Structure 1
């Protein structure tokens, strides 16, 4: 659907309306073009319907200002909308940078987003282990002995022979960590995407 500006008789009404549209566009500029168009059409439609509702004795300009006052500042009421839309875009793209940005914007929208953010941050632990394995191969790995100890990571031990014989992955440690990181990342992103879909169905 093509966006079409609302026409007003009073030039001042037109100026105020276009200024309001400019603030809306500025608030949603980080979204993709389709989502920008969708939100702009929805808000413009709301303004049109509210404006054409019986204004009583009010003039055009006063009635328009009342409509905008009820909507509120775009910078405020659009913030949660934009955050949700950015999260949808991020989970569709699987872009880690976009996902972290979107989760940060949604931290105030529920504890589940905080939990997802923490889980994503935990993935950096796997990346750290990969780097640590390269820098310190003897003290990083999967060390395990039945009914004694289990270490996935790095240990600080003066006598490395006490743990080194029980390292089970060896040269496979880095490939396993890379695969595990990728799988967990995609799993978390799919769960986040399913959460959004489930929430939309409920609403």
Structure 2
């Protein structure tokens, strides 16, 4: 499936049309090639349908009018790109796609901000895993009898480190479990959003 470009006759029309297609491509570059092509073809068909309704003898003027009505790709496509990126992210479970999707959706509601912050908390787990290898006596799950647990770094906590050599495997397992759980919840939220 390829994009069939509209055959304009005027060189300026061809240039304006190509520049608009380039802007669409830049606005959708974070998406998969299939999603990019789908959006490109959809907008191209809108341009073609409106152009084939021959309203003006001036090709450039007619094209500019159509493009103005479609709007700036950078603004018009922002919600669609954010939605498609979120679908891609929850389908692939790829952390890079998930963070890009959450950043694109951060303005679309409090729930996306909460998900973003929860994913950032997972980085704290990864940080603690690395810190445990560097400072094994100061990082861990500490407990003092009759007191509370502390998970993290402590320079002089008088309690006992509970996990010892099991700290890193437990933290890796928790990171994986929480990542999968968060991504599954994000997928459910995305499906719920599409139903309404």
Q: Structure 1 length as normaliser, TM-score?
A: 0.82
Structure 1 residue 43 and structure 2 residue 43: aligned?
yes
SS in 1 for 2:142: strand
- Give the distance between the partners of 2:70 and 2:35, measured in 1 at CA: 19
Is the deviation greater in 64-73 or in 88-97? 88-97
Choose which of 186, 190, 193 in structure 2 pairs with 1:196. Answer: 190
- Give the distance between the partners of 1:96 and 1:75, measured in 2 at CA: 24
SS in 2 for 1:191: helix
SS in 1 for 2:6: coil
Aligned to 2:113: 114
| Paired residues of 2:122 and 2:179 also in contact (CA < 8 A) | yes
Aligned to 1:68: 67
**RMSD of aligned residue pairs (Cα, Å):** 2.4
Structure 1 residue 173 and structure 2 residue 172: aligned?
no
- Give the distance between the partners of 2:18 and 2:130, measured in 1 at CA: 53
- Give the distance between the partners of 2:105 and 2:112, measured in 1 at CA: 6
- Give the distance between the partners of 2:115 and 2:59, measured in 1 at CA: 48
Aligned to 1:13: 13
CA offsets per residue over residues 93-131 of structure 1, 9 Å max, x none? 322223223322222222222111111111111112222
Aligned length: 196
Is the deviation greater in 129-138 or in 189-198? 129-138
| Deviation (angstroms), 1:58 | 6.2
Q: Structure 2 length as normaliser, TM-score?
A: 0.85
Give 1 or 2 for the bigger CA radius of gyration: 1
Runs (4+) of structure 1 exceeding 6 A deviation are none
- Give the distance between the partners of 1:130 and 1:15, measured in 2 at CA: 54
SS in 2 for 1:16: helix
Aligned to 1:29: 29
| Deviation (angstroms), 1:81 | 2.4
